[in-house]
Chain A
C-alpha cells in the first residue's frame, strides 16, 4: 500500500488537519506502514459474521422525559476562545 503525497493531503483536508507540504512525506511513510499492518484483516473470511459495534451489545437506555440538566451557558462560554453577547465568535462565513 503506497499513497501519493496528494492523497495524504486529501485525507488531511477531509479530517480538517492543516499539514505543511514538508510534512507530507513523513505522514505518507507512517500511514502506509499502518495501512500495511491493517491489511491482515482483509484476508479473513468473515462474510457471514455480524459486525460487533459494542462489546456488550446493549442498546441505548431510555430515560423519563424530564429535564435533568440545567442551563450552563455562561459556564461553557467562559472556556471558549472567543465569544460575544452570549455567542461563539468565528470568522465571517457569509459576505
Chain B
C-alpha cells in the first residue's frame, strides 16, 4: 500500500475497496514505527487526520469526492495550518499556532486530502541538509548516517520511507529538488507564480515557490492540479489559466529537443554522476527526443548571485520576528531594544543569523550598489541565458546535485561547502523557471537525481518528459530495504 501510486490509491478509494480511515491508519502506523529513526516529522496530527479521513469517507460515499479525496499527505512545516503548530523548524516559532491555512493547505484540504503531520526542514528553509532544524536533523532512509538533503528533507525522507504517499515542499534555491534527488523521489518546483505563496512562511520572496514531492511525475501532476492557480491573496501569483497536468503525461517525445548545458557537464561534475545522467538522457533519446548541446555562460555566477539576493530578501522578511506580535520572546527584557535583540538572538539558529547579517550588510548604505544591485543585474544575465536556451530547446537536462547524500556533519563546519550543493539548482529560482528532479539511478547504493528544467509555465511538458522516463525505467520504484 505504501508503494502504491496516488492514482491507484484514488481508484481503491473510489471503488470503496479501502476507506480513507483505513488508509490513514495504515500510514499513521508506519509513521509511528519509522519516524523515531528518521525524524522526518516535527508534529504528527493523527487525531486531526482521522477526523479528516472520516469527512473524506463521507464525501466518497456521497459521490462528492475528487481524485485526491481520502489520500494522506504531509505538509512541510513552513506552511501555515490553522489551529495546528507551525514552527518552520525554529525556536522562534516553537510556540506558534497558525491562525489561518496557507492557500496550498486550504486547496488540498478542499480536495479532500488528509494531513497526517508537519515535516522537518532546515530552519526557515535555510539549508541543504535538514541539519539546521531546532528539532534535530532528519535522516536519509537509504542510509541513516546521511542527510536527506534540504531544506524539505523531512518531506523527502517521509516519502522515501513510505510514511506518506505525498508531501508538500518549498524551493527557494533547490529545497524541493535537492532532497528529492538525495532520497530517490520525485520533486517538482513549479514556475514562480504558479502556486500561491500565501501562508507559506517567507524566506526570499522573489525566489520561494511551493510544490509537490511524490514518488512519480504522475503523482506530482495530480497534486499540482489541486494547488496551482491564481490567488488574490498573493500579489505575485500569476494569472495563468488552470490546466490538467495529467492530460499530456503520455505524449510521445518525438520532436522534443533536450538541451545539455556544457557548463553542467564540465570537469567539475563527478564523472560517475555525469555518466549516470548521460545514461538517463540517452534513455530520453531512445524515447524519441533529440539531444542538443547548449551554453549557459553565466552558470558559475549563479551561486554568488543567489546568496546575495536570498540573504538580502531574508534579512528583510525575517525582520517581522520582533518578539512582540507572535513567536518567541526573551525573558525579562530590560527595554525595547533588549527585547528585539535577545528575542531574535535566542530565537534564531546560527545559519539564520548568518544570513540575516549578510543580508543586512549587502543592503546597507555604501554596499547596496556593489552587492545587491549588482546581483540583480547579473540575475538578469542569468535569466537571459535561459531565455536564449529555450529558443533552441524544449527542456534542459542535467544533474540535480553534484554528489549523492553526504554524511551528517560533513558540511556543517563551512557554510560555503553546504551552499555548493545547490550549484545546479539555484539558477532556476533566479530565472523563475519550473524544474523537476526524478530518480535516475544509484551510485554506491545511494540515489541520484536527473534534473529537467522547463520554459516558463511549461510544467506540462516537464511532467510529460519525466513520466515517459518513468515508463521506460523503474528507478522511481526502488525502495530502501528497511522500508520496502
Interfacial residues, chain A to chain B (CB-CB below 8 A) = 8, 11-19, 27, 30-31, 33-35, 37-42, 44, 46, 49-56, 58, 60-61, 63, 68, 72, 75-76, 78-82, 88, 90-93
Q: Are A14 and B360 in contact (CB under 8 A)?
A: yes
Q: Are B307 and A56 in contact (CB under 8 A)?
A: no
Cα A38 to Cα B371 with chains together (Å): 8
Q: Are B376 and A53 in contact (CB under 8 A)?
A: yes
CB distance from B397 to the nearest CB of A (A): 21
Top 9 nearest A-B pairs by Cβ distance? A55-B432, A18-B345, A51-B376, A18-B341, A81-B329, A52-B380, A46-B377, A49-B377, A15-B360
Q: Are A19 and B362 in contact (CB under 8 A)?
A: no
Cα A53 to Cα B336 with chains together (Å): 33
Q: Are B377 and A30 in contact (CB under 8 A)?
A: no
Q: In the complex, what residues of B have CB within 8 A of residue A58's CB?
A: 193, 236, 238
- From known contacts A31-B357, A33-B415, infer whether A49 and B192 are also in contact, taking CB-CB under 8 Å: no
Q: Are A27 and B376 in contact (CB under 8 A)?
A: no
Mark contacts of B119-138 with chain A using CB atoms, 8 A cut-off: 1 yes-contact digit, 0 otherwise. Answer: 00000000000000000000
Mark contacts of B332-346 with chain A using CB atoms, 8 A cut-off: 1 yes-contact digit, 0 otherwise. Answer: 011111111110111
Mark contacts of B126-160 with chain A using CB atoms, 8 A cut-off: 1 yes-contact digit, 0 otherwise. Answer: 00000000000000000000000000000000000
Within residues 287 to 324 of chain B, which ones have a CB less than 8 A from any CB in chain A?
300-301, 303-305, 307-308, 311, 315, 319, 322-324
Cα A88 to Cα B319 with chains together (Å): 17
Q: Are B357 and A17 in contact (CB under 8 A)?
A: yes
The one of A27, A38, A44 that contacts B357, using a Cβ cutoff of 8 Å: A27
Cα A18 to Cα B207 with chains together (Å): 28
Q: Are A75 and B99 in contact (CB under 8 A)?
A: yes
Counting chain B CB atoms within 10 Å of each CB, which of A19, A41, A91 scores highest? A41
- From known contacts A17-B344, A33-B414, infer whether A79 and B97 are also in contact, taking CB-CB under 8 Å: yes
Q: Are B374 and A46 in contact (CB under 8 A)?
A: yes
Cα A13 to Cα B328 with chains together (Å): 19
Closest partner residue, chain B, to A55 (CB atom): B432
- From known contacts A40-B304, A41-B305, infer whether A11 and B357 are also in contact, taking CB-CB under 8 Å: yes
Q: In the complex, what residues of B have CB within 8 A of residue A31's CB?
A: 354, 357-358, 361
Interfacial residues, chain B to chain A (CB-CB below 8 A) = 96-97, 99, 192-193, 206-207, 232, 235-236, 238-239, 300-301, 303-305, 307-308, 311, 315, 319, 322-329, 333-342, 344-346, 348, 353-354, 356-362, 364, 370-371, 373-381, 383, 414-416, 419, 429-432, 456
The one of B235, B300, B307, B336 that contacts A93, using a Cβ cutoff of 8 Å: B336
Q: Are A51 and B430 in contact (CB under 8 A)?
A: no
Cα A62 to Cα B344 with chains together (Å): 35
Q: In the complex, what residues of A have CB within 8 A of residue B238's CB?
A: 56, 58
- From known contacts A30-B415, A41-B305, infer whether A51 and B324 are also in contact, taking CB-CB under 8 Å: no
Q: Are A79 and B96 in contact (CB under 8 A)?
A: yes
Closest partner residue, chain B, to A39 (CB atom): B304
Q: Are B383 and A41 in contact (CB under 8 A)?
A: no
Q: In the complex, what residues of B have CB within 8 A of residue A8's CB?
A: 357
Q: In the complex, what residues of B have CB within 8 A of residue A12's CB?
A: 345, 353, 357
Q: Is the interface of A mostly helix, strand, loop or mixed?
A: loop
Cα A55 to Cα B356 with chains together (Å): 22
Closest partner residue, chain B, to A14 (CB atom): B360
Cα A92 to Cα B338 with chains together (Å): 12
Q: Are B377 and A91 in contact (CB under 8 A)?
A: no
Closest partner residue, chain B, to A12 (CB atom): B357
The one of B311, B333, B353, B379 that contacts A17, using a Cβ cutoff of 8 Å: B353
- From known contacts A17-B356, A46-B374, infer whether A61 and B235 are also in contact, taking CB-CB under 8 Å: yes
CB distance from A27 to the nearest CB of B (A): 7
Q: In the complex, what residues of A have CB within 8 A of residue B348's CB?
A: 17
Q: Are B381 and A49 in contact (CB under 8 A)?
A: yes
Cα A82 to Cα B356 with chains together (Å): 26
Cα A76 to Cα B422 with chains together (Å): 37
Cα A56 to Cα B340 with chains together (Å): 35
Q: In the complex, what residues of A have CB within 8 A of residue B357's CB?
A: 8, 11-12, 15, 17, 27, 31
The one of B307, B342, B360, B375 that contacts A37, using a Cβ cutoff of 8 Å: B307
Q: In the complex, what residues of B have CB within 8 A of residue A68's CB?
A: 232
- From known contacts A41-B308, A49-B380, A88-B325, infer whether A56 and B432 are also in contact, taking CB-CB under 8 Å: yes
Cα A38 to Cα B207 with chains together (Å): 18
Q: Are B416 and A33 in contact (CB under 8 A)?
A: yes
Cα A17 to Cα B340 with chains together (Å): 7
